[in-house]
A and B are shown apart, each in its own frame.
Chain A
Amino acid sequence: MTLDTVKHAAETPDTDQPWAELGLKQDEYERVREILGRRPTGAELAMYSVMWSEHCSYKSSKVHLKQFGQKVPENDAMLVGIGENAGVVDVGQGYAVTFKVESHNHPSYVEPYQGAATGVGGIVRDIIAMGARPVAVVDPLRFGAADHPDTKRVLPGVVAGIGGYGNCLGLPNIGGEVVFDACYQGNPLVNAGAIGVMRHEDIHLAKASGAGNKVILYGARTGGDGIGGASILASETFDDAKPSKRPAVQVGDPFQEKLLIECTLEAFAEKLVVGIQDLGAAGLSCATSELASNGSGGMRVELDDVPLRDSTLSPEEILMSESQERMCAVVEPEKVERFLAICEKWDVTATVIGEVTDGDRLEIYWHGEKIVDVDPKTVAHEGPVYERPYARPAWQDALQADDAGKLPRPRTGDELREQVLKLVASPNQASKSWITSQYDHFVQGGTVLAQPEDAGMIRIDETTGLGVAIATDGNGRYAKLDPYHGAQLALAESYRNVAATGAKPLAISDCLNFGSPEDPAVMWQFSEAVRGLADGCLELGTPVTGGNVSLYNQTGEAAIHPTPVVAVLGVIDDVSRRTPIAFADEGHLLYLLGDTKDELGGSAWSQVVHDHLGGLPPQVDLGREKLLAEILISASRDGMVDAAHDLSDGGLIQALVESCLRGGKGARIVVPDELDPFVLLFSESAGRAIVAVPRSEELRFTDMCGARGLPATRIGVVDGDTIDVQGQFTLPLSDLRAAHEATIPSLFA
């Protein structure tokens, strides 16, 4: 077979090319030909096909995501925004923190262990590529029905993959979520988030500048795994008729990644790196075209120099391979020797594969012949942009009209008691410790809070006690009922969770998981969710620093619930002031903060007791969320509260059970006169939290709430070894613990 060189391509314009098999549409292929003024070579076609995939180019979502850049709140903390490997925020004392959430949904369904493992690997490389030491990971997960046989295949594999990879990397896993819903049956959501810490001056960017600088590929050798991961796997819906996509899943080696972390950080510390990019989706195609186009534009690469695991790989395959644990650095010629020496110290393979050139062409050679000659910007940044049609689905009105208010409610104390037990034992509300105990929480010695706390918290300075907190939240049920407010509720919950620990929310990252963009109803959900999130961030003053869009989470006609997952990052000046969720001391007074309304639409109660989804989600009042956050942060800093827990899915009773079990102490609850006991316990009104206040602080605390206008209702006291809702029911903690903790092991152990 003749090599398809640039010259050959120019001479053979009519050659048939496999653009459709590579995931390109006809008009996209025509556009490539127009850009190049000839047909693309096989290698060029490979590059455009992966870089113009939905996963890499955001072609369907871009027009909506622009809002994150337009509705930017005033916020001094933002150091690096959307577009880099991850956003960076200033957390004070000269420290910067980078964080991001990404999806690895499709691979994790096809091959749960490797899909989830490489999801962790990918997000961690994004963090190191910014110049930061990774300090923690979080994993928001969504699976099909807990009792579905396939969930028993997917969940244990995903959990083992996250643990197997993250534990071996030495990163504490401090948060995330596990949610079950039949809508995720064929499309589990495996999102992975990571946080990294650096000094301001250590921020690195993905750009190749300075003609003559060397391009070094280092890390694992390139193999045939993950070819087409971004295009064929992540950018199409699943369909039984198509062949298995397992070969498109990458295979991870966490040991190699650990070496990559240490070696990269050592090279940064010696200031050896001009620009850096990790190899993730679209592999070398992405790294070379992005590095070049973000710099001066010119780069020459000798593809023969890429170290291979399999010597029979074609140049197209080398360019498309998504082999894990690889990075690409741009290094000045006189520093190459030292860079390679550091790689050798860590037993990391490193090879100069090219150099930055004058001009604006990315040229790739194979066996001495030029097989790629493109303007890298056209590959990396000038992909197609679609204005996909979107329309509010016809069923939305009927769904919203199907009010949860009409569902039969418990009428006696005994019925309430039964439903409380049922709720806390339901898969979504049950303890996830069987899962989280498979993750290392302790490594690195900085973990202040980890799951099941409201947010994970890491100390980043041992002397001053400076710390950061992160929470991730998303409620697909709410978003299905109302995508605009559902996205804002995800934001509000995550924001509240961070504030409940005493940390000040600073910025967000998001992972937007939706069905097929080719369905106008899904596009409407997406556009509404993005609009809601952008408006919400503007109001809360928390910019979007970056994130990820995952579309095509759909099997046949059935899309998942729209599931925007929001990660909020917060900062706390002194971690010793943090507030845990545990009720640890008898006699402390329980105050319910915020307003409790009759809001059961999309609630955990409506799902668990009635298998119902309809009506409207709880109202959003972001002004109230801000006030609540301020109160929680002040109370934490000034030692006015001993415990705090946000109220969200499952309402007050869920929070009480979690806080009581965590601290091993019971609670006596008096239902306020103006509230119905059922509404008090199960409503999911937003903007609320429960706090435990030492008696000595009560006056100071209530004065503060009164002065700032936040409703604070005393509803009980930490006491005994039961949850006693007076006049209604009493439940021993031992019964609650048994109900809460048995569910997940009984399903998956």
Chain B
Amino acid sequence: MTARIGVITFPGTLDDRDTQRAVRLAGAEAVPLWHRDKDLKQVDAVVLPGGFSYGDYLRAGAISRFSPVMETVIEQARGGLPVLGICNGFQVLTETHLLPGAMLRNDSLHFVCRDQKLRVENAGTAWTADYTAGQEISVPLKNIDGRYVADERTLDMLEAEGRVAFRYLTEGDSADGYGNPNGSLRDIAGVTNEAGNVVGLMPHPEHAVEPLIGTGRTDGLGFFTSILKKLVNA
């Protein structure tokens, strides 16, 4: 018995096939989900992959949030369904308010694609259990609207509740992937909801799952093995 992990494709989603590959490499079954279907095909968890859904028109994630599939995702996420939003998927999750905050244009005003150093701050979520708290990982980052913002109260609350899941590492050489790449407040790269089942981050763990491909690191595989173990052991 393995876990079935759904990967949603919106029009303009780009990393759906990569995410399906990462799910398979972790040993789970990848189930393609289509934005027009409310039916989640009885998956055990859902990933919202990166890309430019609806061309990022209006605002990144703003249109996808109203798609039929998201109605079910929102409802089931509140009931505990594990959901991971990567990049554009994270943007969709903030638009749905499953996660707090919002993403603005990078402070450089440019798209940035690089290998990024992160610290896993919370290893207690459904998607991070295979890491240890404080572990430093390297995962590709690629976005133009990646600057995480929220009001001070929300940020303080996230910090107090341990809901800052990932932080950009800034102490080091930018050539080695250090630095806050987009001006995110408090160097926040990703957050979790209170229950720890919904996680979103801007960097792309699905692009760091094979030794030869991309940056050649496999630091991202832990997201997918974490959820698999949780589901299989549940």
Contacts and interface: CB of A to CB of B under 8 A. Distances in A.
Interface in B1-56: 11-12, 14-15, 17-18, 21-22, 51-52, 54-56
A446 B21 CA distance: 11
B142 A442 contact: yes
A347 B57 CA distance: 15
Contacts of A255: 11-12, 52, 54-57
B213 A446 contact: yes
B207 interface: yes
B88 to A, nearest CB: 11
B55 A444 contact: no
A513 interface: no
A447 interface: yes
Interface residues of B, number: 33
Contacts of B51: 170
Nearest to A163: B111
Nearest to A444: B18
Given A170-B14, A437-B113, A437-B114, A443 B57 contact: no
B113 A438 contact: yes
A160 B110 CA distance: 8
B209 to A, nearest CB: 8
Contact of A445 (B11, B142, B144, B206): B206
A442 B12 contact: no
A196 to B, nearest CB: 15
B212 interface: yes
Given A164-B111, A255-B11, A441-B113, A448 B57 contact: no
A396 interface: no
B213 A168 contact: no
B18 A445 contact: yes
Contacts of A575: 212
B204 interface: yes
B80 interface: no
A448 B213 contact: yes
B207 A576 contact: no
A439 B212 contact: no
B11 A459 contact: no
A448 B110 contact: no
A741 interface: yes
B224 to A, nearest CB: 13
Interface in B205-224: 206-207, 209-210, 212-215
Given A168-B12, A346-B11, A459-B212, A443 B142 contact: yes
A697 interface: no
A193 interface: no
A442 B214 contact: yes
A160 to B, nearest CB: 7
A361 B214 CA distance: 51
Nearest to B142: A440
A730 interface: no
Nearest to A449: B212
Interface in A324-382: 346-347
A254 B110 contact: no
B234 interface: no
A437 B112 contact: yes
A445 B17 contact: yes
B117 to A, nearest CB: 15
B210 to A, nearest CB: 8
A255 to B, nearest CB: 3
A167 B142 contact: yes
Contacts of A258: 11-12, 14, 52
Given A346-B11, A446-B213, A439 B18 contact: no
A741 B175 contact: yes
Name the 7 nearest CB pairs between A and B, nearest first. A255-B55, A170-B14, A445-B18, A442-B207, A168-B52, A442-B214, A438-B111
Given A346-B11, A445-B210, 7 more contacts: A167-B111, A168-B14, A170-B14, A441-B113, A441-B214, A442-B142, A445-B15
Interface of A: 160, 163-164, 167-170, 253-256, 258-259, 346-347, 436-448, 459, 462, 575-576, 578, 737, 741, 749
16 contacts: A163-B111, A167-B111, A167-B142, A168-B14, A169-B14, A170-B14, A255-B12, A255-B55, A440-B111, A440-B113, A442-B207, A443-B142, A445-B210, A448-B213, A459-B212, A578-B212
